[in-house]
Structure 1
Amino acid sequence: MQGGSSGIGYGLKYQARCISDVKADTDHTSFLTGTLSLKEENEVHLLRLSSGGSELICEGLFSHPNEIWDLASCPFDQRIFSTVFSTGESYGAAIWQIPELYGQLSSPQLERVASLDAHVGKINCILWWPSGRCDKLISMDEENLFLWSLDCSKKTAQVLSKESAGMLHYLSGGAWNPHDANDVAVTCESSVQFWDLRTMKKVNSIERPHVRNIDYNTKREHILITAEDESGIHVWDLRKAKVPVQELPGHTHWTWAVRCNPEYDGLILSAGTDSVVNLWLASTSTSDEIRSESLMGLPRQRVNPLLNSYTDYEDSVYGLAWSSREPWIFASLSYDGRVVVESVKPFLPRR
């Protein structure tokens, strides 16, 4: 395991919490990030890795009216993204379009495509269907889950269905299953809930307190990763979800975010309030595979799953994003507005 960082840095003017890979940009390795300032005019930065991979360039800088608490890039249109924002007193959510840049850094205003204004309480996140083109969105507040139909050409978003999580279930976030468009996982105070979007009903759950973040393994069905405040990271096989397949120690303080690599099975990033990003190689072996190894008399060696720690931060790290275009590259964002892009090529598993 190594420490420190040899990554490429970029500084935002204000504090920030969220960063997103621009998956639809197939020509560049790009990321979107937004700031979180209560008093100043907030900003959205479009960042691109230079062709030589040695510099992080700001291709667009846009003003945003409020604090940005959640940001996600549209997976099928590189100019479209969503934000959840706060005025300090209330929350809102909107879909935005980046103007044509034509090479200028000082860019025109963002265009508001649609407002997701059906929420009453605190909005936590917006989810885009992760694989391929889809005109549907999910948004969540603390009590309700909404399914939307988005029409960017008509600049409209309509609620298709809505359901309450019920009393004593405070929704905090979620992940859309990339293997099943009808399945979404939702984090609550004491569980991870699995919802069927066709009926808008909960169909299963993992009882687990203080789950902070979740992500699906895009390479293997039924594998879900959870990040928990104090008890680290857990790998789950959802076909038998009573106990995790693997437990990783996580961070010395709260484990805040976890991301599965889009291409390399078992490669996981985590970030925490200990100002560290960790790179893990997790096992996704089934119990049958493990049992067959034992029966054949093969030695099972304990291998440290922690491949590397990146420690070049001075504040809590809240934002993580793998690049879809170059899956050995990731971007991280600490609360003080520092963006770092790293390459994990030396640690890639054999394929």
Structure 2
Amino acid sequence: MAEGRGASHVYGIERHTLCLASVVGNAARNRFALGTLGISEPSEIHLVDFDDDEGVLQSLVYKHPRGVRALAAAPWDPAQLLVVVGGGGGGPPGGAPVELVALPDVPAGALPSPEAPEQPTALVAELRDTAPEAMAPHAVVAHPVAQYREAATVSSAGVRVWDMAQTGPLATHTLSAARHGMDDLEAAAWHPAAAAQLATADGMCVRAWDLRADPRSQQTMAVEYAHSGKVRCLDYNPNLPYLLATGGDDGAVRVWDARSPAGALLDIGNHTHWVYSVAFNPNHDQLLLSAGGDGLVNLESVVSASSAQLVAGMAGSSVRDPPGEASAEDSGSEDEDNGIGRATDGLVAQLDDHETSVYAARWSAADPWVFASLSFDGRLVINTVPQAEKLRILL
């Protein structure tokens, strides 16, 4: 069922969920996909549309034969998803595969009425790792640029890179955990402007890789102790891809400069439990989402680690003033007169719409001011960036 609660819009299902994806390829729709674990009931994939003009949520539900542990949207086709089926951990060689599935009859416009009958997903291909050391993947990431058609699967044994442009998925690279001394490999993120570069998180370490050095991919950066606990998530700044955000079991969110990673550029401590998700805004990179085991979704302003800082520098002005101070040329500005102020680093909003751990927070691919978050109890919450912060960014 869906309900509106002021600035928050809730889509709730009575099923356990871990994964959420923003569906790309449709610039007119705020569309998200979530998968259920199917622990004690058949698993499902829900496609959810949000109309921010009307504040209306609609959905299509697809039956899926196995539980959904993780998923990623396929940028090359808005009706396809990469799905990590339930399980994870050990198992036979190759374990359970990652599936490329199609969602039948997905309309380009608004989704049909809630009474639309459920349909099964359609299997397009399997990404099955047959290497002797292979283990069941627990995560999958698709390169955000559709033309690259690359995906990476993550397991405890390593990261496997797949070329999705072939007749069938073709494994092209392997980052072996054993060979590269990685322990407890958790997550990966694609460099937004390069087809052969990605970052990984293992234990407390964050690494960056250049896959062009195949067959022994070159490590280009490593932060051995990025967090005092396990690193759970990471994301590249889409406009300044040498910047990387991470979240860890210490409750911290940090931003790193891969060119000089000796210390974090920003250290944000607004969570009280493990951080499961971090995401830069794809358009306005001074906005950063995070979500965690404390049930909170935090919207942060990270102006000092964004392209806005560079733009302001080229214009000959400073983005940030010391707290309580303003430059002489700004003291009588129209922005100040209107009470808008200027964007600075800090917490923009802390959302407590969830009652259990929040495992994912994602920006809409259609509207840069819309974002969604998903908690373990099947609660999807859609919010928008506060109007005052939008004005600070745009004016």
Q: Given the two structures, how large is their TM-score scaled by the length of structure 1?
A: 0.89
Task: Out of 106-115 and 233-242, give the one that drifted further.
Answer: 106-115
Q: Partner of 2:377 in structure 1?
A: 336
Q: Partner of 1:83 in structure 2?
A: 83
Q: Is the 2:190–2:199 contact (alpha carbons within 8 Å) kept by the matching residues of 1?
A: yes
AA paired with 1:110? T
Q: Report the Cα offset of residue 176 of structure 1.
A: 0.2
Candidates 230, 236, 257, aligned match of 1:216? 236
Alpha-carbon distance in 1 for matches of 2:87, 2:223: 34
Q: Partner of 1:284 in structure 2?
A: 304
1:314 partner SS = coil
Q: Report the Cα offset of residue 17 of structure 1.
A: 1.1
Q: Partner of 2:175 in structure 1?
A: 163
> Larger relative contact order (C-alpha < 8 A, sep ≥ 6)?
1
Q: Report the Cα offset of residue 285 of structure 1.
A: 5.0
Alpha-carbon distance in 1 for matches of 2:305, 2:278: 19
User: 2:210 aligned with 1:202, yes or no?
Assistant: no
Alpha-carbon distance in 2 for matches of 1:316, 1:180: 33
User: 2:138 aligned with 1:124, yes or no?
Assistant: yes
Candidates 281, 301, 309, aligned match of 2:323? 301
Choose between structure 1 and 2: higher strand proportion: 1
Q: Is the 1:177–1:184 contact (alpha carbons within 8 Å) kept by the matching residues of 2?
A: yes
Q: Given the two structures, how large is their TM-score scaled by the length of structure 2?
A: 0.79
Alpha-carbon distance in 2 for matches of 1:108, 1:101: 11
Candidates 193, 198, 203, aligned match of 1:184? 198
Alpha-carbon distance in 1 for matches of 2:149, 2:275: 32
Alpha-carbon distance in 1 for matches of 2:260, 2:175: 27
User: 2:207 aligned with 1:193, yes or no?
Assistant: yes
Task: Out of 224-233 and 143-152, give the one that drifted further.
Answer: 143-152
Q: Is the 1:126–1:139 contact (alpha carbons within 8 Å) kept by the matching residues of 2?
A: yes
Q: 1:299 to 1:281 in 2, by over 3 A?
A: closer
AA paired with 2:203? E
Alpha-carbon distance in 2 for matches of 1:163, 1:269: 28
AA paired with 2:393? R
Q: Is the 1:320–1:331 contact (alpha carbons within 8 Å) kept by the matching residues of 2?
A: yes
Alpha-carbon distance in 2 for matches of 1:15, 1:25: 27
Deviation string for 1:227-270 (max 9, x for gaps)? 11114111111111100111111301112211111111220111
AA paired with 1:237? D
Q: 1:252 to 1:87 in 2, by over 3 A?
A: closer
Choose 1 or 2 for highest CA Rg. Answer: 2
Q: Is the 1:66–1:87 contact (alpha carbons within 8 Å) kept by the matching residues of 2?
A: no
Q: Partner of 1:96 in structure 2?
A: 101
Deviation string for 1:34-59 (max 9, x for gaps)? 1113221100001111363411100x
Aligned-residue Cα RMSD (Å) equals 2.6
1:172 partner SS = strand
AA paired with 2:148? C
1:284 partner SS = helix
User: 2:287 aligned with 1:267, yes or no?
Assistant: yes
Deviation string for 1:50-109 (max 9, x for gaps)? 363411100x21111222111111112101110111258754311101112464722432
Alpha-carbon distance in 2 for matches of 1:304, 1:240: 21
AA paired with 2:358? V
Q: 1:168 to 1:26 in 2, by over 3 A?
A: closer
Q: 1:322 to 1:180 in 2, by over 3 A?
A: same
User: 2:119 aligned with 1:108, yes or no?
Assistant: yes
AA paired with 2:267? E
Q: Is the 2:70–2:140 contact (alpha carbons within 8 Å) kept by the matching residues of 1?
A: yes
User: 2:259 aligned with 1:239, yes or no?
Assistant: yes
Q: Is the 1:14–1:336 contact (alpha carbons within 8 Å) kept by the matching residues of 2?
A: yes
Alpha-carbon distance in 2 for matches of 1:97, 1:242: 43
Task: Out of 303-312 and 188-197, give the one that drifted further.
Answer: 303-312
Alpha-carbon distance in 2 for matches of 1:72, 1:53: 27
Unaligned 5+ segments in structure 2 are 325-343
Task: Out of 116-125 and 245-254, give the one that drifted further.
Answer: 116-125
Q: Is the 1:246–1:283 contact (alpha carbons within 8 Å) kept by the matching residues of 2?
A: no
Deviation string for 1:325-351 (max 9, x for gaps)? 101000110110001110114222423
Q: Partner of 2:26 in structure 1?
A: 25
Alpha-carbon distance in 1 for matches of 2:106, 2:80: 14
Q: 1:285 to 1:164 in 2, by over 3 A?
A: closer
